[in-house]
Amino acid sequence: MTFHHQIYLQPMTIHFPPDFAFGTSTSAYQIETAFEHDWVGVKARDGNTFDRTTDHELRIEEDAGIISSLAPNYRMGLMWSRLQRGPFEEFNQEARDHYHRLLTRLHEKNVSIMMVLHHFANPKWFVEKGGWEKSANIPMFIDFAEKVVKEFGNYVKQWNTFNEPNLYVSMGWMTGEFPPFKKNIFKATRVITNIGQAHEEAYAVIKKYFPAHPVGISYNCTVFSHENILGIIPAKFTDYCYMSYPIRKFRSLDFFGMSYYARIGFDPMPVTYILNPEKFKDRPHDDMWEFYPRGLLECMRRFWKEFRKPIIITENGICTGDDPKRVQALSTYLTLVHDALQEGIDVKGYYHWSTWDNFEWSLGPTYQFGLYGVDPKTRERMKKPSADFFRQVAFSKQLDVR
């Protein structure tokens, strides 16, 4: 016993399987200049307006270099509104050429792509037709999906049809924080049903052209718990609405894509650092939520037990301007992923959110998740120490832990 304790107190190195995929992750909307989509002009909490973000479309050479230096895999999306200017239209030539250039550069740099077809934002024309509230609009998205698959599928290794449909519906139709800023549980139910239907159809489209490509979604996993007796029912209800119910709409999944950031307690209201910083005097937190890394392992156990499907961590990270804190968080999270592997959970990969700081939706660009920073005036990229930490783990597939 004493002998074992001594071993564990020594620094040790943990190893990830040779085929384990490390990557970083972005979404086109958060890194490219906004173009005719439903976030254009939205005023963020930090006072910035959703418009120019990180100029990625002007810096693809440099950014492809950054992406390939950090990990062999990259999870990304394309801006639907830039590619398609109306329902069922052919792709805009300029946008198509641009994405071919970007994907070619990434391919030349040996970066494998996980492509996300939908990440929260929609073209204005889609929203004007009723967006996701109308099942009649699903074919418009499927047409976009099929065009992406035909045009760019050769660059792609695996797919996410939808990014975090559970978070998207809850923010857009329950809490009203994301466009279309509604609070209507009936519409929320209709939207998740329509998105589930769109996923099933998009899944079939991808398989028609690339039967061997793994296809899934990214599901936002959050631990909901109670802070006091009054929080028991709200926590359970939220867990049901957010974690248990929406996933049932997605039947065809080759893997379970999981994103994880936080635990949210209820007292009975939700307790987050953004809303109630005064409640975080004695517990770890980042700039948005409680920092509860163990929740990642808890979520992996929960969904492994339920689905027995390979898990890919499609997003995980920490919102902080304090980079040493990010390095520490990464180390903790990756150790927990390794623990899951040791328990026999089939985890296939880990994508860090995010490659560089970007426009954090309704909060704004001062909320930072990146391994690189972006100068707010010049948009110059600045490497953070966490970038070196991550690339070292991503390419060696090993991590020194204490």
Instruction: Provide the minimum distance between the beta carbon of 213 and ligand BGC in the complex, in angstroms, as a whole number.
Output: 21
Of residues 163, 238, 272, 355, which one binds ligand BGC by CB under 6 A?
163
Q: Region of 205 please: left (phi>0), alpha (psi -120 to 50) or beta.
A: alpha
16 or 356, CB closer to ligand BGC?
A: 356
Does 272 contact ligand BGC by CB under 6 A?
no
**Least distance to ligand BGC, CB of residue 5, Å:** 38
Per the DSSP assignment, residues forming a β-bridge with 43 are 49
Choose which of 38, 63, 164, 286 interacts with ligand BGC (CB under 6 A): 164
CA-to-CA distance for 315 and 98, rounded, in angstroms?
A: 25
Task: Using the rule CB under 6 A, give the single segment among 33-41, 133-141, 146-154, 160-168 that binds ligand BGC.
Answer: 160-168
Q: Which is nearer to ligand BGC, 77 or 265 (CB)?
A: 77
Nearest to 76 by CA among 44, 41, 50, 111: 111
Judge residue 329's burial from the number of C-beta atoms within 10 Å of its C-beta, 0-12 exposed, 13-18 middle, 19 or more buried: buried
CB-nearer residue toward ligand BGC: 141 or 353 = 353
Supply the minimum distance, in Å, between the C-beta of residue 245 and ligand BGC.
18
Q: How far apart, in Å, are the Cα atoms of 269 and each of 17, 51, 80, 266?
A: 42, 32, 36, 5
Place of tokens 């107190």: 9
Nearest Cα to 99, choosing from 110, 114, 83, 123? 83
Question: Smallest distance, Å, CB 53 to ligand BGC?
Answer: 11
Q: How far is the CB of 356 from ligand BGC (least distance, A)?
A: 12
Q: With respect to ligand BGC, which residue has the nearer C-beta, 16 or 173?
A: 173
Nearer to ligand BGC, 126 or 168 (CB): 168
Closer CB to ligand BGC, residue 30 or residue 194? 30
- Give the nearest distance from C-beta 147 to ligand BGC in angstroms: 23
360 in contact with ligand BGC (CB under 6 A): yes
What are the C-alpha distances in Å from 75 to residues 22, 58, 264, 329, 395? Answer: 10, 19, 26, 20, 16
CB of 119 to ligand BGC, least distance (A): 6
Q: Is 259 an interacting residue with respect to ligand BGC (CB under 6 A)?
A: yes
Restricted to residues 302-321, the positions that interact with ligand BGC (CB under 6 A) are 315
Residues 6+ apart with CB under 8 A from 307: 253, 256
Q: How far is the CB of 10 from ligand BGC (least distance, A)?
A: 35
Residue 105: helix, strand or coil by DSSP?
helix
- From residue 28 to residue 47, the character string flagging contacts with ligand BGC as x (rule: CB under 6 A) and all else as - is --x-----------------
Q: Does residue number 122 form part of the binding site for ligand BGC (CB under 6 A)?
A: no
Size of the site for ligand BGC (CB under 6 A): 11
Does the footprint of ligand BGC cover residue 287 (CB under 6 A)?
Answer: no
Whether the bond into 354 is cis, omega within 30 of 0: yes
> CB neighbours of 10 closer than 8 A, spacing ≥ 6?
none
Q: HSE-up of 18 (CA within 13 Å, CB side)?
A: 0
- Contact track, ligand BGC, 365-384, x by CB under 6 A: ----x---------------
- The correct pick among 81, 194, 220, 272 for binding ligand BGC (CB under 6 A) is 220
Q: What token pair was written down for 61?
A: 């050479």
φ/ψ of residue 115, rounded to 5: -100, 130
Query: What is the end-to-end Cα distance of the chain in Å, rounded?
Result: 19
List beta partners, residue 341.
none
Select 63 or 164, whichever has its Cβ closest to ligand BGC: 164
Q: Does residue number 390 form part of the binding site for ligand BGC (CB under 6 A)?
A: no
Which residues in 50-89 contact ligand BGC (CB under 6 A)? none
**Which amino acid makes up residue 63?**
D
Place of tokens 């920490």: 318
Task: Determine which helix (DSSP H) or strand (DSSP E) holds 191, and give its type and residue range.
Answer: helix 185-209
Contact, 351 vs 23, CB < 8 A? Answer: yes
Nearer CB in complex with ligand BGC: 131/165:
165
Q: How far apart are CA 152 and CA 160, in angstroms?
A: 14
Q: In this chain, which of 39, 50, 178, 353 binds ligand BGC, going by CB under 6 A?
A: 353
Binding site for ligand BGC (CB under 6 A): 27, 30, 163-164, 167, 220, 259, 315, 353, 360, 369
